[in-house]
Amino acid sequence: MSQKEDRLMSIGEIAKSLGITRRIILNYEEKNLLQADVKDGATGNRYYLADSLTKIRTIRVLQNLGLSLDDIQAYYDGTTDMEPMIERLEKLRDELNLNIEKLKQRVKSDNDFELHTVTIPEQTIYRRTMRADTVEQRKEHLRDIIPDAMRKYGSDTSKRMYFIEYPLDDPNLISYCIAVPPQSEGEYIHRLPEEKALCIFYHGSYESIPDIRDRLIAYAKEHGFSLKGTCRHIYLEGPPAHTDPSKFITQVALLIE
């Protein structure tokens, strides 16, 4: 199997990994929320890359929050008022904190370097570590790793789908971390403890994140934070939802003592 073919997941594999039916995915296509990345002309079989998998998962999560497919279409088009949506989610605060956080960040129009000290909850992840010198290499690695994690373990929808982390003294040594169900056992499975972090929610292209990280480091040193030496990029919204990099939202977090 070629590398390109290995990155493709069938509609059946997508449905199984996300715990949904094929009919649900086909309905998303009928509503023009997504398109299959590859269609077999002879059989009509559909295949999807990691970006499409991410979008299907996000659509399903938004549906589970009570949004209609029309609401979700407006969400992706940027034609809906976000504030009522946020209020709806806040009624389910304990269960839906991650979604509230994402929506609140999305309605912000600029980056004011607003810093937060947060507690990152413990979680179970599928983690692979390898070197990547460019943003494009990181994207390629994620597109390889996400399908592998999903096929083996499925997804923990109560956590961010994926993030990367790396040591501050070696930023190109990237650990790719995919959220999997807490009961997962097997190769590349790790259980991360609860962590404290100093972070900012950055709106913009991935290429500019190193500058944001360095500003965070300078702030931490100036204000006496004790750094653990690890940075995380936690992805809230990116290429699966937007073609405009200025709309990407990334939580850049420095782990602290």
Domain limits at 154? 116-256
78 and 131 co-located in one domain: no
Residue 226 to residue 108: CA distance in whole angstroms = 29
The type of residue at 192 is L
- Read off the pLDDT of residues 226-251 as tens digits, 9 standing for 90 and up: 999 999 999 988 887 788 888 888 99
Choose one of 45, 72, 107: the last residue of a domain: 107
- Global pTM exceeds 0.85: no
Choose one of 56, 86, 107: the last residue of a domain: 107
What pLDDT, on a 0 to 100 scale, did the predictor assign at position 88?
Answer: 64
Q: Which residues does residue 127 pair with via DSSP β-bridges, in sequence order?
A: 177
Q: Is the pLDDT of residue 110 over 60?
A: no
Residue-wise DSSP of 132-170: -SSHHHHHHHHHHHHHHHHHHH---TTS-SEEEEEETT-
DSSP state of 54: H
Asked whether the beta carbons of 212 and 222 are under 8 A apart, the reply is no
127 and 214 co-located in one domain: yes
102 and 228 co-located in one domain: no
102 and 120 co-located in one domain: no
What pLDDT, on a 0 to 100 scale, did the predictor assign at position 84?
Answer: 72
What pLDDT, on a 0 to 100 scale, did the predictor assign at position 90?
Answer: 62
What is the domain count for the chain? Answer: 2
What pLDDT, on a 0 to 100 scale, did the predictor assign at position 159?
Answer: 86
| Rg value, the chain, Cα | 18
Q: For residue 175, what are its two tokens? A: 């650990």
